[in-house]
């Protein structure tokens, strides 16, 4: 599994990158043929919006691609919400393939 983490409009600290990598390793338990994972962490500088930290995750498996996006007050919370949604998508796809 190839993991690519990109940040937009900020420089991530080591703890955030380690947190993302650690959580992404659990994806292998849900699907064993993951080719590539792209994570985009973005700062949204909208003054009127409190939810200004966005996490986007794109996962590629053979013949299929998943994409999720979540925003909240912290990158960890945004990433966790996006990852939870992604895991649900992967599980549903794998169940359909098994049936």
Consecutive 10-residue averages of pLDDT for the chain (99 residues): 90 93 91 92 73 91 93 93 94 83
55's torsion region: left (phi>0), alpha (psi -120 to 50) or beta?
beta
- Beta-carbon neighbour count of residue 73 at 10 Å? 11
Query: Tokens 């966005």 belong to which residue?
Result: 54
Q: CA quadruple 40, 41, 43, 49: dihedral positive or negative?
A: positive
Structure tokens at 11: 């420089």
pTM of the model: 0.90
């Amino acid at each position: 599994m190839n993991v690519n983490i990109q940040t937009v409009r900020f420089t991530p600290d080591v703890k955030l990158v380690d947190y993302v990598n650690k959580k992404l390793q659990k994806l292998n338990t849900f699907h064993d043929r993951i080719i590539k994972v792209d994570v985009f962490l973005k700062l949204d500088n909208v003054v009127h919006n409190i939810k200004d930290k966005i996490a986007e995750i794109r996962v590629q498996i053979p013949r299929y691609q998943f994409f999720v996006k979540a925003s909240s007050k912290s990158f960890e919370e945004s990433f966790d919400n996006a990852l939870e949604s992604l895991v649900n998508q992967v599980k549903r796809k794998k169940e359909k393939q098994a049936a």
